DNA sequence: GCGGTGACGCGGC
DNA sequence: AGCCGCGCCACCG
C-alpha cells in the first residue's frame, strides 16, 4: 500500500474544519485515490485520531454502523441533519458553489 | 491466483 | 423508497 496516499487522506480529513463536512469521494479525489473506498479503509485504521465524523457519503448520509455517532458528533459542531441526511449544499467543505 | 468482503459511488429498474 | 449490478482496490482465508 502507498503510505503517502495513506498520509494524504489523513491530512485532508484533518484539514476539514469544524462545522463543515466532506465526502469520501472528495477526500479520495483530493488525495489522488482511484477509489473512495480507500478513504474508508484508511479511516478504519487510523481514523481514531482524526475528525472522521466530518466525512460523509455522497448523498450526505453517514455509514450505517456509525450513523448515530456521526450525526451526534456533527450536531455538537453545529451541523444539523435532516433525519440521517446532512445538507451538503450547506455544510460541504469547499465546492459549495450552489 | 481465486473468491469474498467492505467507513464508496453511479446508473438502472 | 428499495433492490440489483458494475467499477474500484486492499485485505483476508
**pLDDT per residue as tens digits for the range A39-83:** 999 999 888 999 999 999 999 999 999 999 999 999 999 999 999
Taking Cα atoms as reference points, which of A62, A69, A73, A60 lies closest to residue A40?
A62
Residues 48-67 on chain A lying near strand B, CB distance under 7 A: 48, 52, 55, 57-59, 63, 65-66
The reply to whether A41 has its C-beta less than 7 Å from any atom of strand C is yes
Taking Cα atoms as reference points, which of A50, A46, A76, A44 lies closest to residue A63?
A44
Distance in Å from B12's C1' to A78's CA comes to 37
Could you tell me whether strands A22-23 and A81-82 are parallel, antiparallel, or unpaired per DSSP bridges? unpaired
Q: Under a CB-based contact definition with an 8 Å cutoff, are residues A71 and A81 in contact?
A: yes
The reply to whether A32 has its C-beta less than 7 Å from any atom of strand C is no
Q: What is the pLDDT of residue A8?
A: 94
Q: What is the pLDDT of residue A94?
A: 82
The reply to whether A23 has its C-beta less than 7 Å from any atom of strand B is yes
Q: Is the pLDDT of residue A95 over 90?
A: no
Domains and CATH numbers, chain A: 3-91 (1.10.10.10)
The predicted-structure confidence for A8-20, as pLDDT tens digits, reads as follows 999 999 999 999 9
Cell of A35: 477509489
Amino acid at each position: 500500500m502507498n503510505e503517502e496516499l495513506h498520509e494524504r487522506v489523513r491530512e485532508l480529513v484533518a484539514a476539514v474544519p469544524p462545522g463543515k463536512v466532506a465526502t469520501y469521494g472528495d477526500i479520495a479525489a483530493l488525495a489522488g485515490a482511484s477509489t473512495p473506498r480507500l478513504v474508508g479503509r484508511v479511516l478504519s485504521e487510523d481514523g481514531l485520531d482524526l475528525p472522521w465524523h466530518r466525512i460523509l457519503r455522497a448523498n450526505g448520509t453517514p455509514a450505517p454502523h456509525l450513523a448515530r455517532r456521526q450525526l451526534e458528533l456533527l450536531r455538537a459542531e453545529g451541523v444539523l441533519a435532516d433525519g440521517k441526511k446532512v445538507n451538503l449544499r450547506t455544510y460541504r467543505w469547499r465546492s459549495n458553489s450552489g
